[in-house]
Structure 1
Amino acid sequence: MAVLADSDTRWKWGALTANRIAPSAPGIPGDTAGGADIRLDGFLLRGRATPTARQLGEVGVTADSLREVTAVEFLRAMREEPYDLLVLSLVGGGVQAMLHGLKRVWEDRPRRPVVVTGYVGVVYEKLADGLLLRHGADLVLANSRQDADRFRAVYEGVGADAGSVTEVALPFLGGAPYTGEHDPYTVVFAAQPSVPDSRKDRTYLLNRLVQHARRHPEREVLLKLRSKPGEHTTHIEELPYQKLSQRLDLPPNFRLVYGHMGEVLDRTDLLVTVSSTAALESLHRRVPTAVLTDLGIREALGNHHFVGSGCLASWDQLDAGHRPEPDEDWVARQGVAADGSYDTAFDTARERIAKLLARPGGLPPLTPYYTPVTAPGYLPGILARHHLGPDGTPLPGAPAADKEPGPVRQIVRRAARGAYRHGVQRVAPVIRRMGEL
């Protein structure tokens, strides 16, 4: 099987999902799943968020092979290398481009892999847009019962086939359940790269976290970060907390930490976030979890997704000792599976894939909802960003190297990425501030 991903978090989701849903996968053994007889080839789509070696190591998911590719190089590999299962773990536009490209490269093949896609975490924005860009895959995975209902409603509402929607759960849930307070009591704030996005709001949250550490010197207070300055993940981070914290006098019980979220949760007594998927990981393990309301409950923040969860709280309440109690019905609808049902969460997907692979005569061509007929003003631009024409054929001059780039090309590529990240994290904020004068 193969996975194509465009960031560290999507690689984690894609690889773990592939292991969970492979027809020969023996259930859910531990946190990483999969069987020893399953080969996994990873492809990292070259772009602004291509993960670094450090990020890949932190994710902790291994593959039998892993290489960086352009879209056209990937399509060439899919034409030449046989697979049973392909997971597209990309942004919506990337999924749509690959679906059209794969339809083209497989048009003369008697058999093709089962194509699967889905979402890395909570779906709180661009529901219709993202879903329709993913339509055409054999399975569109929904991480919860609520998402499955919403996904089917969108597809049926536009007259698209909703049969691909398959309910599963987030593939990285797991770990030992919370059994009681640690020594020292540990509060963890799970930071997000783009939520909130303003300096004022991010500074406010950092200050409140530091104040909490000062008010509770007996506690350990951790700021859990996703990436180091200069690295990119799923979303662009213009104002890293690391840089904001350099201006503060930090108390001795306050620390910045990286690493696997599961390992951090092993020692967490209270998980605090604005809207991170880490909240679902925490709830799955029954760790006390707070979703902040300090900046309002707003769609732009994503914390509106947690309305009804029982987890909404402010820093003032947390400072005073409040510990949110999650609503069990809400938790059950979110695919958290804290009731022990996680062991069977991927059974339906596995069974559907096995049936598709056993289909006599192979699978029919991929049929995305968007075509040059249904979206003539939208689809060509999406395909062109990946150097594909309206019919999924590579455009003239599309980058498609036959071998690994030479040392000079690698140096130029690293320099270009560094310049882009410098522009995002240094130049863009300055220009924005100047525009506000």
Structure 2
Amino acid sequence: MGSAVPRAAVIADSDSRWRWAALTARKIAPGHALDARLLSCATTPAPRQIEDAGVLPDTSRVVTVAEALADPAVAEADLLVLGTLGGTALALLHSLGAAWDGGSRRPVVITGYAGAVYENLVDGLLLRAGADLVLANSPHDARRFREAYRGAGVDEECVVEAGLPFLGGPRYDPSAVARGERPFTVCFAVQPTVPASPAARAGLVEKLRRHALRHPERQVLIKPRTRAGETGTRPERHAFRDLFEALGDRPPNLGLAEGSMAEVLNRTDLLVTLSSTAAFEAMQRGIPTAILTDYGIREAHGNHFFVSSGALASFAQLDEGLVPRPGYSWTTEHGIGQRDPFGPARARVAQLRTRAALPRVRPFYTPQNAPDYLEGLLGRHGLGLSGQPLPDGQAGRAGSGAMRRLIQRGAGGLYRVGTTRVAPVIRRLAEGAPQG
């Protein structure tokens, strides 16, 4: 397929999804040139974040969805990896599929997830249906994906078991600490939204401060999700960086860790987090890993994903010296420790390329089975049901029918509250008020 030099195109909308998509392209098609198309949005990765993925694209542009659809680098690629939110993936699959329908060639399209899938499983999978390969990061995920697709009537053959492409690095060696070459280092991997409240986030920094005071022989590091001025996949409110800098009486063995997660893990002896993907990176290397239970084991936090892992621990237990080591059966089942997890994906791509023509791209959602939902998702990107950009002035009104119904329901509710609750109170107040 394609030109003399095979090419892979990546469309990504945030730093973590860029890293996943770019490294996935490299794992599946290591000899391909790479064209990066970064979507213009609130989470567009910065140049430093692009470099931190460890992949240098041959070309790179920041584009809108409409510009990506018209980009020859996308249409003429041999491989296209979508590292986007589910709704954006559907908009691209729907619109690119319509544009490619009837053509003699198209790219092999791959999508998946940049981390653990612990929420909105069916929602996200159905939005990604239509890609040639939907990558599952573990045997556990592959079974869940296939079950969900079977139940919805989607061909489960698209599910291919792979792994998180950024897992790797040197195996953990505790001898450096034993030899006194460096202190035992505890690294807390920050998450932008967990815990959510400012009090809980400030309290977590205080726990780290107390741990550093209790263990002066240890180095305690806070690893921010991004550097100052950068945005991540999810915006961080009440940033740990700010809370650390505002912390009074900081012990000398408590500090911030800059640089990539891979670099920080090179000097980490205990990784602590609530549910960050960094836990998988640490476990892959054999680094002891603690998943905090201080704020509960909850789906909202994502730490429920690690039940039965052997990694759950409270900060009080860590203070007492606990160093959790996840169990082998759990890590294997969740895609950790695989030698070449992308072999099946490479084989599937090679198989597809032997066909005279690839099948049509058929997303699950269509104008027939979900017209309102599809119209709203496409409208957010300025696209119509045809897959073409909406005329100027109409993009902002996309999904206006659904919005109008929402406003009408809200207005009706306000009217009922006003007539049944507020008006009687005002009348009583007026009746009891002195006459002027």
The TM-score normalised by the length of structure 2 is 0.85
Query: Using the alignment, how far apart are the partners of 1:319 and 1:78 within structure 2?
Result: 56
Q: Which of these residues, 344, 368, 376, is aligned with residue 381 of structure 1?
A: 376
Structure 2 gaps, min length 5: 1-7, 396-436
Q: 1:79 to 1:223 in 2, by over 3 A?
A: closer
Q: Which of the residues 12, 17, 27 maps onto 1:10?
A: 17
Match of 2:54 in 1: 60
1:257 Cα deviation (Å)?
A: 1.6
1:103-114 to 2 correspondences below 5 Å: 103-114=97-108
Structure 1 residue 351 displacement after superposition: 0.6
Match of 1:352 in 2: 348
Q: Which runs of 5+ in 1 are unaligned?
A: 23-33, 401-437
1:225 aligned to 2:220? Answer: no
Q: Distance in 2 between matches of 1:289 and 1:192?
A: 15
> What one-letter code is carried by the residue in structure 1 that aligns with 2:209?
V
- In the TM superposition, what are the counterparts of 1:225-244 in structure 2 within 5 Å? 225-244=224-243
Q: Deviations over 1:160-190 (max 9, x none)?
A: 1111000001000111111215321100000
Larger Rg: 1 or 2? Answer: 2
Which residue of structure 2 lines up, in the alignment, with residue 274 of structure 1?
274
Does residue 397 of the first structure (1) align with residue 392 of the second (2)? yes
Instruction: Evaluate the alpha carbon distance shift between residue 168 and residue 218 of structure 1 in structure 2; reply closer, same or farther with a 3 A threshold.
Output: same
Instruction: Tell me the distance in 1 between the aligned counterparts of 2:315 and 2:120.
Output: 29
Instruction: Look up the equivalent residue of 2:335 and give its one-letter code.
Output: G
Query: Which has the bigger relative contact order, CA under 8 A and spacing at least 6?
Result: 1
Report the equivalent of 1:435: none
Task: Give per-residue Cα distances to partners, 1:329-376, cap 9 Å, x unaligned.
Answer: 111011011xxx32x21111001001111102x112100111111112
Matching residue of 1:209: 208
Aligned partner of residue 220 in structure 1, secondary structure: strand
- Corresponding residue for residue 164 of structure 1: 158
C-alpha contact (below 8 Å) 1:72/1:398 kept by paired residues: no
- CA drift of 1:55 comes to 2.3
Q: Tell me, yes or no, if the aligned pair for 1:78 and 1:102 is still in contact at 8 Å.
A: no
Q: Which amino acid aligns with 1:10?
A: R
Out of 95, 118, 122, the position equivalent to 1:124 is 118
Distance 1:19 1:365 in 2: 25
Question: 1:196 Cα shift?
Answer: 1.5
Letter in 1 for 2:12: A
Work out the CA distance in 1 between the residues paired with 2:145 and 2:387: 26
Per the TM alignment, residue 78 of structure 1 is displaced from its structure 2 partner at its CA by 4.3
Matches within 5 A, 1:85-96: 85-96=79-90
Contact 1:72/1:399, CA 8 A, preserved across alignment: no
- Give the TM-score, by structure 1 length: 0.85
Q: Counterparts of 1:398 and 1:165 in 2: how far apart (Å)?
A: 39
User: What is the number of equivalent residue pairs in this alignment?
Assistant: 382
Cross-structure match for 1:133: 127
> Displacement of 1:58 after TM fit?
3.0
State which of 363, 372, 379 in structure 2 corresponds to 1:368: 363
* Contact 1:220/1:253 (<8 A) preserved: yes
Q: Partners of 1:264 and 1:124 in 2: how far apart?
A: 26
**Corresponding residue of 1:427:** none
Where does 1:41-56 land on structure 2 (aligned, <5 Å)? 41-56=35-50
CA offset at residue 105 of structure 1? 1.7
Query: Are 2:84 and 1:77 aligned?
Result: no
Give me the whole-angstrom Cα distance separating, in 2, the residues matched to 1:130 and 1:306.
20
- Work out whether residues 131 and 151 of structure 1, in 8 Å CA contact, stay in contact via their aligned partners in 2: yes
Which secondary structure does the structure 2 equivalent of 1:163 belong to? Answer: helix
Residue identity matched to 1:329: S
The amino acid of 1:4's aligned partner reads: I
Alignment of 1:332 onto 2:328: no
Root mean square deviation, CA, Å: 1.6
